Amino acid sequence: MELIVLGSAAGGGLPQWNCAGGQSAQVWSHSRPAQTQASVAVGNRDSGYIVINASPDLRQQILQTPQLQPTRDHPDGVRNSPIKGVIVTNADVDNVAGLLNLREKQKFDIYGPTKVLEILADNTIFSVLDPDYVTQRSLETGEAIQPIPGLEIELFTVAGKAPLYLEDSLGIETGDLGFTSGVEVRTEHSKTLVISSCAAIDQKLLERIETAEHLLFDGTVFEDNEMQLLGLGNKTGQRMGHLPITGSDGPMARLADCALKTKRFFHINNSNPIWDNQSEAYQTIQTAGWDICHDGMVLTL
């Protein structure tokens, strides 16, 4: 089994379409490669793959990931895909927009909390996913499934905030609202956690992390006010529901003693200096035993 990082940039990607500053600058000038928005695929050639969150970049991610491409001489004919399912952990555009790329009469399953599937049902645009081919299955937190042989997946709630487009009705407070989930990926050999959004590391989460081999953790911002400092917006990391990497309650401090095999930041905003491997910030996370994820990175599970 392998985990492929399809993309590890936060919403907007790197570079962001309307941003000439921050970390986007170096990408527009071709000094560093572009990175797509956060998503991973887990599986192998024999069992197929499960995509965790369907980013708006999913078509591009399939184009740059040979493991997810259709094959010639397939028993189903020329129309086929190794993608057997997609798990959507919440209803943010960042995590569901990519489903619109998976139209075209291909059989696969969508798994997600009932609340998320209801939002998809309310948005008629998603009915391009023909129910004759695409089955929606509810997957609540705490429930474990085996979507493909050799792989077990369980969602768990994480402190967060309501999706941006529901803020008007639900408010901006963070907490355990049921909208934000981490994903626990279990194989015969290892346990991996994918947590793209986290507003607080509580004791329960800490205990879960301590039993895992691999961690992909919310690396949205390095410092809470970095977007303000770069002129990229008024919101702090905390306001967006993300713990800053360097905060006293952040992952670098709180997870320093966790004996994981690998710790990598994931869901990294285009303001975050850790994108630059020549930066002090990158040196800081490396010294602390962390690295970053990037498009195409593979972890053997």
Q: Which of residues 251-280 bind its own copies (CB under 8 A)?
A: none
Instruction: Give the Cα separation of 90 and 214 in Å (integer).
Output: 22
The answer to whether residue 18 forms part of the interface with its own copies (CB under 8 A) is yes
Instruction: Give the Cα separation of 102 and 78 in Å (integer).
Output: 16
The answer to whether residue 230 forms part of the interface with its own copies (CB under 8 A) is yes
The answer to whether residue 70 forms part of the interface with its own copies (CB under 8 A) is yes
Contact range with its own copies by CB under 8 A, out of 65-73, 152-160, 246-254, 281-289: 65-73
DSSP-assigned letter for residue 56: T
Quickly tell me which residue has 């630059």 as its tokens.
Answer: 276
- Which residue in 2, 32, 44, 103 binds its own copies (CB under 8 A)? 103
Q: 169 vs 287, which CB is nearer to its own copies?
A: 169
DSSP run (H or E) holding 204 = helix 203-210
Q: 55 vs 187, which CB is nearer to its own copies?
A: 55
- Which residue in 165, 173, 204, 298 binds its own copies (CB under 8 A)? 165
Instruction: Give the Cα separation of 104 and 195 in Å (integer).
Output: 30
Q: Is the separation of the CB atoms in 47 and 60 below 8 Å?
A: no
Return the exposure string of 160-197: e unless at least 16 CB atoms fall within 10 Å of the residue's CB, then b. bbbbeeeeeeeeeebeebebbbbbbbbbeebbbbbbbb
Q: 125 vs 172, which CB is nearer to its own copies?
A: 125
Q: 187 vs 269, which CB is nearer to its own copies?
A: 269
Instruction: Give the Cα separation of 92 and 162 in Å (integer).
Output: 9
Task: Give strand pairing partners of 145.
Answer: 153
CA distances from 41 to 24, 55, 154, 187, 282 (A): 25, 12, 15, 14, 25
Q: Is the separation of the CB atoms in 220 and 269 below 8 Å?
A: yes
The answer to whether residue 237 forms part of the interface with its own copies (CB under 8 A) is no
- Which residue in 26, 47, 67, 101 binds its own copies (CB under 8 A)? 101
Q: Which of residues 105-164 bind its own copies (CB under 8 A)?
A: 105-106, 119, 122-125, 127-128, 164
Q: Which of residues 171-210 bind its own copies (CB under 8 A)?
A: none
Taking the CB of residue 236, how many other CB atoms lie within 10 A of it?
16
Binding mask 19-48 for its own copies (x = CB under 8 A): xxxx-xx--x-----x--------------
Q: 192 vs 271, which CB is nearer to its own copies?
A: 271
The answer to whether residue 229 forms part of the interface with its own copies (CB under 8 A) is no
Site residues (CB under 8 A) for its own copies?
A: 11-13, 15-22, 24-25, 28, 34, 56-60, 62-63, 69-72, 74, 77-81, 83, 93, 96-97, 100-106, 119, 122-125, 127-128, 164-166, 230-233
